[in-house]
């Protein structure tokens, strides 16, 4: 396992974009920040020679990413079968921050932050690491929740596969700020600017079978 160091990640052929290089960063804090601000990633892998992209929950623990799922699910099963070599994956996390409306259609854009992690995923078989990873995934979605729920029992653990991916080959790409119109377009009559994209949480909806008197805990995300 890697340990966290303050140094940047090393750019590689895969992580240096062919264009808009000024939008790419290998800064460790920037990478962690993008990864920690979401809980759903898009995991890409190859099945029968073709790409597959599935949304899934994940968590970062230091320089490792954990993904879990049913032992019957395809990427997790595949990683299990190829334990020696690892399963080549690409784990991508994207935040959309704003719609950028330029005067020209060409310069329309999106303000965003995304992290793209390339690597090989390995099944996690050690009991303690599996338990830690499962707690981390629950707490990544709702910090504090794992301690306030019944932990997985032996049967449930047997149904759950966990895979691990080291954060080594990674880049963050981002765009922020207003439109970049051509000088000759500045006099056009079209409104131009950014429409911020927001995300948040609504009021918690108790389950139908929740016993009276159990109030929403303080760690729930605020609306």
Taking CB under 8 A as the criterion, which residues in 93-152 touch its own copies?
A: 94, 96, 98-99, 101-106, 108, 110, 112, 114, 116, 118, 134-135, 138, 141-142, 145-146, 148-152
Structural contact between residues 47 and 198, judged by C-beta atoms closer than 8 angstroms: no
What residues between 47 and 76 interact with its own copies by CB under 8 A?
Answer: 47-55, 57, 70, 72-74
- What does the DSSP 8-state code read for residue 59? E
Q: Which of 1, 128, 154, 205 binds its own copies (CB under 8 A)?
A: 205
Backbone angles phi, psi at 190, to 5 degrees: -75, 140
Structural contact between residues 137 and 103, judged by C-beta atoms closer than 8 angstroms: no
Task: Give the residues across from 222 on adjacent strands.
Answer: none
- What does the DSSP 8-state code read for residue 210? P
x/- letters, 2..21, toward its own copies (CB under 8 A): ------------x--xxxx-
Q: Is 201 in the site for its own copies (CB under 8 A)?
A: yes
Q: Is 175 in the site for its own copies (CB under 8 A)?
A: no
Identify the burial level of 181 via C-beta atoms within 10 angstroms of its C-beta, where 0-12 means exposed, 13-18 middle and 19 or more buried: middle
Task: Please report how close the Cβ of residue 60 comes to its own copies at its closest, in angstroms.
Answer: 17
Instruction: Using the rule CB under 8 A, give the single segment among 4-12, 28-36, 58-66, 90-98 that binds its own copies.
Output: 90-98
């Amino acid at each position: 396992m890697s340990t966290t160091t303050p140094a940047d990640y090393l750019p590689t052929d895969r992580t240096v974009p062919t264009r808009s290089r000024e939008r790419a960063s290998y800064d460790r804090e920037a990478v962690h920040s993008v990864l920690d601000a979401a809980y759903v990633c898009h995991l890409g892998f190859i099945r029968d020679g073709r790409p597959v992209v599935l949304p899934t929950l994940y968590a970062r623990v230091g320089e490792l990413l954990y993904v879990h799922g049913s032992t019957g699910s395809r990427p997790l099963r595949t990683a299990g079968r190829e334990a020696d070599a690892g399963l080549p994956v690409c784990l991508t996390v994207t935040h959309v921050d704003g719609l950028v409306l330029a005067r020209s259609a060409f310069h329309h854009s999106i303000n965003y932050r995304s992290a793209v992690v390339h690597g090989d995923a390995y099944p996690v078989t050690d009991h303690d690491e599996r338990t830690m990873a499962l707690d981390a995934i629950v707490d990544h979605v709702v910090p504090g929740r794992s301690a306030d729920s019944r932990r997985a029992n032996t049967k449930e653990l047997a149904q759950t596969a966990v895979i691990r991916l080291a954060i080594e080959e990674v880049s963050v790409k981002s765009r922020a700020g207003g439109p970049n119109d051509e000088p000759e377009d500045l006099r056009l009559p079209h409104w131009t600017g950014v429409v911020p994209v927001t995300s948040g949480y609504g009021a918690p909806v108790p389950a139908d079978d929740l016993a009276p008197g159990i109030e929403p805990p303080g760690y729930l995300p605020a609306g």
